[in-house]
Amino acid sequence: DAGVIQSPRHEVTEMGQEVTLRCKPISGHNSLFWYRQTMMRGLELLIYFNNNVPIDDSGMPEDRFSAKMPNASFSTLKIQPSEPRDSAVYFCASSFLDRVPISRDRAGNQPQHFGDGTRLSIL
Amino acid sequence: AQSVTQPDIHITVSEGASLELRCNYSYGATPYLFWYVQSPGQGLQLLLKYFSGDTLVQGIKGFEAEFKRSQSSFNLRKPSVHWSDAAEYFCAVTRDKLSFGAGTTVTVRA
């Protein structure tokens, strides 16, 4: 089975440039999560989607960050303009929520499967 | 707000020795509990999970964890460590959003 696929694996770009990170969740999963991992702050949840709808974006640091999920098999996280402090490893994860309708209380009841991450360096 | 604490930043163990990683959580009700492992350059892999029922849960790679409600703990254990267990380990708790501990780095010496 293919796991969560993220691209690119590494990205190095100059500050001010637009960065787009991509994620393909596991087929059949209906929830998708974007995380950021840094030495200083550890793992932080940025945003998560359920059935392609953003449920909680309270972790998105600034308006420079945006995420979309146009269909069940694809999501993007975009940073525009990028800054050096955005340098981090960005992980995408997916899972299946076993209860409908959407309930925030049940968002975590299935384990999340993580991609290998995108290591982003902003110079 | 829910939170999870991993008191040990770094643990060094000898190969073949036992390992215990501590995890304490803070939440009004019993949350869902997870342990993940992250090898260098890799994403997080689920080791085991606890939702309810038997408080001793078995996971992959020979790991187990015990949920103790009275101590708000969910410690991870392995009886005999292999060199390949060197990695960073994260405890996570959730009711709505997954919250990760800061992680414990495990070094295995020969």
> Inter-chain contact B94–A107, Cβ cutoff 8 Å?
yes
Strand B104-109 relative to strand B87-94: parallel, antiparallel, unpaired?
Answer: antiparallel
Q: What is the DSSP string of B20-56?
A: EE--EEE-SS--EEEEEEE-TTS-EEEEEEE-SS-SE
Token couple for B19: 């390992």
Contacts A113 to B, Cβ<8 Å: 46
> Inter-chain contact B100–A42, Cβ cutoff 8 Å?
yes
Whole-number pLDDT of residue B11: 97
Tens of pLDDT along B23-68? 999 877 778 899 999 998 888 999 999 988 889 999 999 999 999 9
Tens-level pLDDT at each residue, chain A (123 residues): 689 999 999 999 999 999 999 999 999 999 999 999 998 888 999 998 989 999 888 889 889 999 999 999 999 999 999 999 999 999 999 988 765 444 444 445 678 899 999 999 999
Q: Are B101 and B6 in contact (CB under 8 A)?
A: yes
Contacts B39 to A, Cβ<8 Å: none
